[in-house]
Amino acid sequence: MPSSLRTLGVNEKARITSIDASGEISRRLRDMGLVPGTEVKVIGRAPLKDPVAVRLRDFTLTLRNNEADCIMIEKMEENK
């Protein structure tokens, strides 16, 4: 069942299946390395639960929940 990155809890891992965005934001997300197949792990949320910090390709990216909504993922096994 595909879901969005927003639903991913802290310390959970997932693989990106698709990016449901178009135009500028889609290009920006891709430039930053969020392409289908990438493994991501949520490593934290800001004090007000938004934005979210994600670890991928050996670096840390933060994005807002609004942006996380358009990143579709499939969860991977728990890996703490």
Partner 1 sequence: MSGTATIALAGNPNSGKTTLFNAITGARQRVGNYPGITVERKEGTVNVEDMKVNIIDLPGCYSLSAYSEEELVARKVLVDERPDIVVDIVDATRLERHLYLAVQFFELGIPVLLSLNMMDEARKQGLRIDRIRLSNLLGCPVVETVARSGTGKKELIEKALAHARERGGKWEPLEISYGPDLDPALAEMVEKIEATDFMTERYPARWIALKYLEADEDVMKAGKAIGGPAEALERCVEKTREHCRKTLNTSPDAIIADYRYGLINSILKQDIIVHEKTQQERIDFSSRLDDVLTNRLLGPAIMIGVLYAMFQITFTVGEIPMGWLETFFGWLGDTATAIIPAGLVQSLVVSGIIDGVGGVLGFVPLIAIMFLMISFLEDSGYMARVAYMLDRVLRIFGLHGCSAMPFIVSGGIMGGCAVPGLMATRTLRSPKEKLATLLTAPFMPCGAKLPVFLLLVAAFFSENEAQVMFSITLFAWAMALLVSKLVRSTIIKGDPTPFVMELPPYRMPTLRGVLTHTWERAWQYIKKAGTVILAVSILLWAAMTFPGLSEEEVAGFEAQRQTIAASVQTEEQQETLLTEIDNLQGQAALRHSLAGRIGTMFEPISQLAGFDWRTNIALVGGFAAKEVIVATFGTAYSLGEVDPEASDSLSRRIASDPTWNKFTALALIVFVLLYAPCFVTVVTMAKESSWRWALFSTCFNTTLGFVIAVGVYQFGTLFLI
Which residues contribute to the site for partner 1 (CB under 8 A)?
18-19, 22-33, 35-38, 43-51, 53, 55, 57-64, 66-67
Least separation, in Å, of the C-beta of 48 and partner 1? 4
How buried is 8 (Cβ within 10 angstroms: 0-12 exposed, 13-18 middle, 19+ buried)? buried
Residue whose CB is less far from partner 1, 15 or 30: 30
Q: Compute how many other C-beta atoms are within 10 angstroms of the C-beta atom of residue 39.
A: 14
Residue whose CB is less far from partner 1, 14 or 63: 63
